[in-house]
Amino acid sequence: MAHSHYKSFQASGRVRLSAIADIDDDHARAFLADYGENAAIYHDYRDLLKEAKPDILSITVWPHLHAEMTVAACEAGVRAIHCEKPMAMTWADAKRVKAASEASGSILTFNHQRRFLEPIQIAAKMIHGGELGDLVRIEAQCNDLFDTGTHWLDMMQFFNQEAPIEWVIGQLDCREDRRIFGALAEDQSICHYKWANGVLGLMIMGHEAKWDCAFRVTGSTGMLELLYSRPTLRVRLSGDSDWRVIESKEGLHDEVSIDRACADVIRALDEPGYKPMLSAENAIRHTELIFAAYYSSMYRGRVNMPLTYEGNGLEDMVEQGAMGKRRA
């Protein structure tokens, strides 16, 4: 992802690479050689923050380091921080990260870049414009809650205009020690929740989901689906006898979305008061939902928001022997 971030910021024509940090100097030199750059190399990111004093910091490390590095960048006064998803490994750390950005005034964004893709933008415009009638339900399917799910839940929040979440019911099955970028991921799960505006959400994850539809959005007078396959977007509105394809040149994975995400960060620096689409304020809502779903499985019941459990219920259940290989 460091390569993706670099290329996207450079594509803006507004950014100069001043420094990079990597615990392996050979990796750092190889990265610079790939792009013909001659930036300063730091072995410790803390030294980079102290000496290079960047305007924009891109954080592309594994999730367990996100909170530590983001808080340090905020405290160092970095103007804009663009961090890879997910926010943090525990709910306490996610809140700590957001609080640090608010205290410092740093612009903090997380790379939930799929919001910028054409079919997502078209779908959101139709939903927000009332073409499906009153929003009733949003369903989704993906691989897991923490890695892929952070994108999918973020897009569900986008469709429902960042509405607060009222309650969450989650159930997980974790029979293998499956880790994605070091973070534990469940094998199967289900997450059912309700937004404060009455809309219901349902997401099914894992190898048995077997549903080509990434999202299904149901309104009082119509339905919309976003598909993993092409064509990506189709609708069935009041009066339609069958599904109708909405043309889109992009799918759900196109790399151009990262270009747009990085350009949005730069726009936030250019335009005081502009709220970037991938702000921490937006990311914190679905991040709370993830940790609430984990805790619901641990607690074995519905969790009302706001979430009070500070940890990571999935990691805690496996560590306690309540889930994982020993319980399979």
pLDDT value of residue 323: 84
What are the backbone dihedrals phi and psi of residue 27, each rounded to the nearest 5 degrees, phi first?
-60, -45
pLDDT value of residue 326: 55
Question: How many residues does this entry show for the chain?
Answer: 328
The answer to whether residue 327 scores a pLDDT higher than 80 is: no
Q: Helix and strand tally (H, E) in the chain?
A: 10, 16
Its pTM stands at: 0.96
**Element (H or E) spanning 128, and its range?**
helix 118-128
Q: Which domains does the chain have, with CATH numbers?
A: 2-113+258-279 (3.40.50.720), 115-252+284-320 (3.30.360.10)
Q: Please give the Cα distance from 85 to 78 (Å, whole number).
A: 19
Convert the pLDDT of each residue in 185-225 to its tens digit: 999 999 999 999 999 999 999 988 888 899 999 999 999 99
Q: β-pairing, 19-21 with 40-42?
A: parallel
